[in-house]
């Protein structure tokens, strides 16, 4: 009986630990690796970041949040982008400058202002516009095959870079 109880105790401990880890990863936060250069120099390829998932259950996405999202028709592939357009906004670009509701937006996080033009897009209810900080090398809402995303496509908000340790920082 003692060996059996010991085995049951270990199995229960492992089951509880796995269930707790899955709960935390699904509902609270998870580490995600950056894959690509579309967010240079805010986020770099192969960095690991912490993504909180509860933010948008308790509140609404805010302009300029760096988010993990999914694209239409791309299954569950994660993309990291900056949210620049909220429902009801009109978003456009002229000579690489972002305009939201007719006002030019200062984007100090962009180091490579690609000379990019985009016709004005007015977002409907529950539509969000996301772009990469490296505008010359980002597949995002500017592309016809991506377009706008909905709130349920936003997985969470990027909070911190945690790896490599020498580059640990907050993401604003």
pLDDT digits (tens, 9 = 90+) for 115-158: 888 999 999 999 999 999 998 888 999 998 899 999 999 999 99
Strands 48-52 and 29-33: antiparallel
HEC letters along the chain? CHHHHHHHHHHHHHHHHHHHHHHHHHHHEEEEECCCCCCCCCCCCCCEEEEECCHHHHCCCCCCCEEEECCCCCCCCCEEEEEEECCCCEEEEECCEEEECCEECCCCCCCCCCCCCEEEEECCCCCEEEECCCHHHCCCCCCCCCCCECHHHEEEEEEEEEECHHHCEECC
In the predicted model, is pLDDT for residue 26 greater than 80? yes
* Predicted local distance difference test score (pLDDT) of residue 65: 96
**Whole-prediction pTM value?**
0.87
In the predicted model, is pLDDT for residue 112 greater than 80? no
What are 46-77's pLDDT values in tens digits?
999 999 999 888 889 999 999 999 998 887 88
* Predicted local distance difference test score (pLDDT) of residue 152: 93
**Positions marked catalytic:** 38, 81
């Amino acid at each position: 009986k003692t060996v059996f109880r010991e085995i049951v105790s270990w199995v229960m401990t492992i089951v509880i630990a796995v269930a707790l880890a899955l709960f935390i990863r699904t509902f609270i936060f998870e580490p995600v690796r950056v894959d690509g250069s579309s967010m240079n120099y805010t986020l770099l390829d192969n960095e690991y970041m912490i993504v909180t998932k509860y933010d948008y259950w308790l509140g609404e996405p805010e302009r300029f949040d760096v988010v993990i999202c999914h694209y239409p028709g791309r299954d569950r592939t994660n993309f990291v982008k900056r949210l620049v357009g909220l429902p009801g906004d009109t978003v456009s670009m002229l000579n690489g400058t972002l305009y939201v509701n007719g006002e030019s937006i200062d984007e100090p996080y962009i180091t490579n202002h690609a000379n990019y033009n985009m016709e004005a897009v007015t977002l409907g209810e529950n539509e969000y516009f996301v772009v990469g900080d490296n505008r010359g090398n980002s597949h995002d809402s500017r592309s016809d095959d991506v377009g706008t995303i909905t709130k349920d496509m936003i997985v969470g908000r990027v909070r911190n870079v945690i790896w490599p340790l020498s580059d640990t920082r907050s993401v604003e």
